Amino acid sequence: MQTRTLGNSNLQVSAIGLGCMGMSFSYGAPKDRQEMIALLRAAVDRGVTFFDTAEVYGPYTNEDLLGEALAPVRDQVVLATKFGFLMKPDGTPGWQGISSHPDTIRKAVEGSLKRLRVECIDLLYQHRVDPNVPIEDVAGTVKDLIQQGKVKHFGLSEAGAGTIRRAHAVQPVTALQSEYSLWWRRPEQEIVPLLEELGIGFVPYSPLGKGFLTGAISATTELASNDFRSTLPRFTAEAREANQAVVDLLAAIAAQKNATPAQIALAWLLAQKPWIVPIPGTTKLSRLEENLGAASVTLTAADLTAIDEAAQKITLVGDRYPEHIEKMTGI
């Protein structure tokens, strides 16, 4: 597996990471723990060194899963987790608000350290910007945690350009994690140029459009009620039917490259900038291997131009999130 460095930092990771949320949260019922431990270790065996989790995934159970699975190879991997959501008092999935109060951050980090079974978190993200806490206070708190040896690198998630710049002035930001793919390209407007200017790495989540860009989901696919995609405007049957054009585009390129649509979607992201590291999630070994194969797919400048020109002719249907969730993002 090729490696990449996140921005101007010294944090080197596999060119493709593994988003672990779906193992415990959001995509239907949690998956079998032992099967997921085996999958996580299989990822390490195949060269993955970058694993993404958060305290809200479960809540808490995803961090605990990674802690157990990756303890034997701790020195070989980079663990990224996040703070910022207020969990429900009864421990059920979901959240009841956001908070990045300094005391909340410190408490979250202590919990994450225990569940991940580590002495130091490699990359700590603010999961969502808290409008009630100045970002300078957030960055300052993480800076203190770095000085205490509990955190190595600071990250932001779904933050806007102004927030990123202000945070970076207090504590250098190593990476921004935000949604980015061929069907969500808004970061290209302000965020990608800013990250290049400041030397910050980009970690796209949902690089496969929450599974849609793999071609495995169609207008007739039945989404379970406990699959959060069933609540997303872009995943209504009508939107999926309209947006099939993006998958068809990927499939056409894939046929020329002896690849799959998912591999083309990931290869397209890798080709955008050398400091972009997508983190596709999966719960299946076959999909893991397919995703990792994208690192071996080469897209030429002509390929990228053709993809871009074709994509510009497609009008995507449906917002990516319901309005109340979209308001929590800054991009």
Return the CATH superfamily for domain 3-209+273-297: NADP-dependent oxidoreductase domain (3.20.20.100)
**Is the pLDDT assigned to residue 90 strictly greater than 80?**
no
pTM: 0.95
Q: Which residues contact 31 (CB under 8 A, 6 or more apart)?
A: 22, 23, 24, 283
Nearest to 297 by CA among 261, 259, 269: 259
Confidence of residue 329 (pLDDT cuts 50, 70, 90): confident
Q: Which residues contact 123 (CB under 8 A, 6 or more apart)?
A: 11, 78, 79, 80, 81, 152, 153, 154, 155, 174, 175
Confidence of residue 194 (pLDDT cuts 50, 70, 90): very high
Mean pLDDT score of the chain: 94
Out of 57, 60, 125, 180, the active site residue is 57
114 or 326: whose pLDDT is higher? 114
Q: How far is the CA of 260 from the CAs of 179, 214, 221, 249, in angstroms?
A: 21, 8, 20, 11
pLDDT tens track for 129-175: 999 999 999 999 999 999 999 999 999 999 999 999 999 999 999 99
pLDDT tens track for 218-252: 888 988 888 888 888 888 999 899 889 999 999 99
Residue type, 181: S
User: Is 60 a catalytic site residue?
Assistant: no
Residue 235's pLDDT is what? 87
Q: From the centroid of its chain, how far is CA 180?
A: 9
